[in-house]
Amino acid sequence: MTTQELIEAIRTWGEERNIIGANAKATTQTQFVKLLEEVEELNVAIAIPDHDELVDAVGDCTVVLILLSELAGVKFEDCLLSAYNEIKERTGKIVDGAFVKDSPDDDFNDPLPERTCTDGEVCESCQ
């Protein structure tokens, strides 16, 4: 099975269980909470360490991200491509086991843009 076929199978699985699709019962918020649960399982697998549990947890996190992105109205593949395009030419170094980029192009201290639309409406600041 190709990666694309696997992603499509996960979407079908999510639709059949009413997580995503026309009869979706999940929301981006409920999927975010589910993601936090799966990340905690990943944390435990790393701490133990347990290779099989790590593989399971990474897979579970990915499934949740695929479904969460669908609920947000964006394809997982587009999110992944966007992330890759952000990092592909980034340079930096490893500091204490973590990659630190040379020139920060993201400033998480900047305030978020104010929302200028109403519920059900999409504006530039929400896109």
Q: How many CB atoms lie within 10 A of CB 107?
A: 6
Q: Where in the chain are the domains?
A: 3-90
Model confidence pLDDT, tens digit, residues 65-107: 999 999 999 999 999 999 999 999 999 999 999 999 997 655 5
Instruction: Supply the pLDDT for residue 69.
Output: 98
CATH of 3-90, one of 1.10.530, 1.10.3470, 3.30.70, 1.10.287: 1.10.287
* CA dihedral sign of residues 113, 31, 9, 60: positive
Q: Are 53 and 45 in contact (CB under 8 A)?
A: yes
* Overall pTM surpassing 0.75 (yes/no): yes
In the structure, what pLDDT confidence band is assigned to residue 116 with cuts at 50, 70 and 90?
low
Residue carrying structure tokens 């992603």 = 7
- Is 92 in contact with 102 (CB distance < 8 Å)? yes
Structure tokens at 91: 């340079």
